[in-house]
Structure 1
Amino acid sequence: MKSGEGRVCQNPWLNQGHTVEFSPDGKRLLVGSSGFDAVFEFDTDSGEVVWEWFAWDHGFDRSKLGHYVVRSEAKCKALEAMGHEVLLVDDPGKYEFGIPTRQKPAHLNSASYDSEGRILVTLFHQGAGYVVDRKTGDAQEVISGLINPHKLSRRKRGGYFISDTRRGKLIFIDENYRRTSEIALAGTPGIERSPQLSEYLQNTTELREELFACIDIHRSSLWLIDVKRRSYRGIKFPVEWSVHDVASLGRQHGLRIRGLVGTQFGKVAAFARQLKIIHHFSVDGCEVTALVLDSQDRQRQLDV
């Protein structure tokens, strides 16, 4: 794809995209689809899917609520015959926002390139990071015991890192998947959310070697951590923003994607009678619309 050109990459199973990453040669685009616990790799020239992986098809098909989630009617009937509760998802078009987080078996929230044809994925509900073999689809657990982790990624100097989200920690791992060190952001000042909420360290990105950007939702802050110099600084962002990821862009790339930057942001404003109310605003702060979801993330009307 030539510089300045646009390309639409889409798939009916692509829903609630959580991470996006270009391959080292720029010819592929890797997208983590949280809505259906899937990963898609697109050819940037054609926009076609060249590789895909569904957690449900590779052993991660049972939710913490006890039910199974499958795409195959035959598998659904087989599980039901054994007395299991099964959610058959054979038409993604029926789920505007994908499967509700609590009903998903995995809540896959990141996909990233590793070396030697492998893909790194992070599974929120499993509290673990995995290396996926592109040829077989097999997933090897490489770190576990985390609480709702985000974004297992390869480190520029070698090894890996991942956010232990609910503990507010950035964890470093060596090439043999052994933990080597960690940075704890829990307990830092500046909390802007309810004190009853736990830590919530979202995605972490290595901007350049040894410089990491950590998204701290609990404090509405972006932490820039220089591991080599053992220094850090915090940058506040508006509490209404829902920041998922950051990337380092030069001026040239910034101009190329300028038209893709969102023009709205959402704010979860309240909970009433088990209804979640999300207000959408334009960048100048004017409210555009409001969305009301029930406990199953289905759209509802709010009776005033």
Structure 2
Amino acid sequence: MDKINCQICSTKLEQTNITHNEYRLYSCENCDFHAWYPRKIDVSFYENDDLGFQQNLHEDIQRLPLWTEFFFKNLNKIGATGKKILDVGCGNGSFLKEMKDKGYDCYGLDLDRYAVKVAKKKIAEDKIFHCKLEDLEKIDSKFLGYFDIITFFEVIEHQDDLDNFINHLKKYLKPHGVLVGSTPNTNRWINGLGFREVSDYPPHHFNWFSLKSLNKLFEKHQFSVSFYPAYTKVTGADLRYRVLSAIFKEKYARATKPIIVSQESSFYVKSKKSIRRKIRQVLDLAFLILSPIATLLNKNKEISFHIGFIAKYEK
């Protein structure tokens, strides 16, 4: 492959020995950004992924995402001047429903038409759109410079062109508006133990961010940014999925597809076989015991599972 420059700082990316199927990971020594190539992003993937995340949205199983926790804790401090909010990658509308109940004027968009149908029922038919971010202005030019807050939780790691993505967010943002989002932390402590869950690889995620790389990205686009652990409490179920999906890859994730993001549910396929049941019970207990330690580690934004960020446009 020809020379590839970092999308954040323009430094030449270094090719690593890490591959996943047809993809190879490249890293930036200057800003700690990691990117997968080729960046073959298929929009239809967001309706048909094989790990079950989208199925939970279609069936409206997904509750309010954990990584929105930091946003609600800091809602009164973010400094937005109004209550018009756009959620990019709104899924089934659980987050927007919470904001609507708080008196916000809510809009959302998503690439998954089935999730959009669910979100429309929660918010409004004319405020949820099945479209790309860059196409929102084609739906109505009023959206240019329209929003006080734009959120994009667990979205930026999917983007193939970071500058294009941020520039379009800026187009829809009011002067001195606020961007809020979250993304997996490539330096999360559990990765240091060798457990990186299968959903963090392409075609799910094409970008791996650290605090350093995110800070460089927002500075480049004239935002002042504050970082937070996106959420702190780690359940036994969350810990169990991260560890076992890292070990067993797609096989584990597919076997648990219908309930993969339900924090209250067991991630194991039900079985009447006593040996499997006993193993399940032992593992459940082990992860439950370890979860308070994981929660303590997760409070450190440098190594937390997910990074939350609030960025204010300073231009």
Give the structure-1-normalised TM-score.
0.29
Give the structure-2-normalised TM-score.
0.28
